Amino acid sequence: MTRELSRRALLGGLAFAGLGQSVMAQSALAPLASLRPTARETDLLKAYQAPLSELVAQSGLNGKVSVQVADVKTGLVLESHNPLRALPPASVAKALTACYALDVLGPGYHFETRVLGTAPVVNGRLDGNLILAGGGDPTLDTDALADITKRLRDEVGLTEVTGRFLVWSGALPYLKDIDSEQPHQVGYNPGLSGLNLNFNRVHFEWKRGSDGYSVAMDARSATLRPAVRTARMRIEPRKYPIYTYADGGSHDTWTVARSALGKNGSRWLPVRKPALYAAEVFQILARSNGIVLKAAEQIDALPAETTPLVAHQSAPLRIVLRDMLKYSTNVTAECVGLTATTARLGSATSLKMSADAMNTWAKETLGMTSPALEDHSGLGDDSRLSARDMVKALIAARKVMGIKPLLKAHPLRTEDRKVIEDHPVKVHAKTGTLNFVSGLGGFVDLPDGTELAFAYFSADLPRRDALSREERERPPGGKTYNTQARKLQQRMLARWSIVYNS
């Protein structure tokens, strides 16, 4: 067992530390007979591990780094590097949001989207208004709306609505975007409301023909592609900017530079009017089921008396959170966090207010000292966490809230990013990446049964702050920074897997 473990540790550790030749050279100079007991293979390997500070210094990363690793069982801090330095956590913040939601809402919580009537359905006819009422579900998609409209026809027997088509999204506050400093066109920064669809993204597709370009804007899902008018695109004969956005009142107005399109292509764009977007798709799908609705009207409050017609529930919260942590969906993080704050305090008026509530909760519940998040996804520039605080939170949440099984498994890799097959060390963690910002936080399971909690944050804030708004989508030098950060993370994981395994 010791020999096999040492072999695997060498595969992981020496590949990262770059010490293979040094070890071989030292071994070549060793005497044929030793006056002292021969050191074990694992002890020799541990002795050749570079200290954490040296790994950081050799990484080539500009800016600041904060790292800490601790034993989960005892809480003992094993090593750290500037652990009190507060840096942007990027999407590692989603792990804290997941803990917040698990504690406040519970793992079995379901988001619910409802269809209500202001009168009962009699002989297929609703002599009143039909209301689409959102419940903050961040996972609602076009296929789910199609199922709702089909159930209205098949289960309720609805064929005619004489009144208005009303839309309510007041379960959560309306926000035109998550972070106002992001480029207009990035799909990870859409609007938010209590009624969301397809992660509040619209699919933009273009094709070049003999007489110019054709464009399509649709709310596509796995099986459906309904075209929408709540998001509209116009091609302009220019080079820059590539995209522009304007509020068209009832719709999002986009333009794109013709020179940037090429032949054919597509991308997801953010939706700034999520409730109207969902309402339009619902109306289209209802019509396909023989139910004709008038133009959607948004309302601020639900009527006092309504008749429930159909309700759609999301997957249990633990599944929603697992997928959020795997795919790092910002809409999910913000809706989950806002919903938890609403349940805890009665309302959530803004992302900042809700994040402040979560910061307070984290101090009271997880023992954190100074969490300073401004949203629930980690997208905002001003959010700050230290490695020490994050490790405290992970250890507390591991024991009380069961966060670890929801975190994505990360294989250990070599310097050239190849997965080390059958490595005995297991890592479950949340990554975080912004321009010139990188984070990683989670757990390491060692072969001897030791469990570690760790957090790593790095940032070159002056370089990030110097970017223009448009440069933020693909900044020069950003890919290199992220590559260097990932290499450092892998070297640290390799070090810990060797040094702290008995």
Which pLDDT tens digit goes with each residue over 214-272? 999 999 999 999 999 999 999 999 999 999 999 999 999 999 999 999 999 999 999 99
If we measure between CA atoms, which residue out of 243, 222, 253, 288 comes closest to residue 472?
Answer: 243
Domain boundary among 282, 314, 346: 314
pTM for this predicted structure = 0.91
If we measure between CA atoms, which residue out of 172, 118, 113 comes closest to residue 148?
Answer: 113
Query: Going along 210-350, which residue ranges are E strands?
Result: 212-218, 231-236, 243-247, 252-257, 264-270, 296-299, 307-313
Inside any domain, residue 491: yes
> What does the alpha-carbon distance between residue 298 and residue 273 come to, in Å, rounded to a whole number?
11
Inside any domain, residue 323: no
On whether both 162 and 254 belong to a single domain, the answer is yes
Name the residue with higher pLDDT: 466 or 40. 466
If we measure between CA atoms, which residue out of 360, 357, 319 comes closest to residue 337?
Answer: 357
pLDDT of 343 strictly over 80: yes
If we measure between CA atoms, which residue out of 249, 143, 116, 253 comes closest to residue 197?
Answer: 143
Domain boundary among 262, 286, 314: 314
Inside any domain, residue 366: no
Q: Which residue has the tokens 């072999």?
A: 7
Q: How many domains does the chain have?
A: 2
Name the residue with higher pLDDT: 500 or 21. 500
If we measure between CA atoms, which residue out of 439, 341, 436 comes closest to residue 389?
Answer: 439
> What does the alpha-carbon distance between residue 252 and residue 275 come to, in Å, rounded to a whole number?
12
Bridge partners of 131?
Answer: 116, 166
Bridge partners of 77?
Answer: 70
pLDDT band at 35 (very low <50, low <70, confident <90, very high): very low
pLDDT band at 11 (very low <50, low <70, confident <90, very high): very low
Pair of tokens at residue 136: 């903050």
> What does the alpha-carbon distance between residue 346 and residue 389 come to, in Å, rounded to a whole number?
27
Share of the chain above pLDDT 90, in %: 85
On whether both 156 and 238 belong to a single domain, the answer is yes
Q: Which domain holds residue 486?
A: 2-89+384-499
Inside any domain, residue 322: no
Looking at every residue in the chain, the average pLDDT score rounds to: 92
At 165, give phi and psi (nearest 5°).
-105, 110
Name the residue with higher pLDDT: 280 or 472. 280
Which pLDDT tens digit goes with each residue over 377-389? 999 999 999 999 9
Give the 3-state secondary structure of residue 475.
Answer: coil
DSSP-derived secondary structure letter, 48: T
CATH number at residue 463: 3.40.710
Supply the pLDDT for residue 125. 98
Mean pLDDT of 403-428: 90
> What does the alpha-carbon distance between residue 79 and residue 68 come to, in Å, rounded to a whole number?
6
> What does the alpha-carbon distance between residue 128 and residue 163 come to, in Å, rounded to a whole number?
5
Mean pLDDT of 264-283: 98
Domain boundary among 288, 314, 340: 314
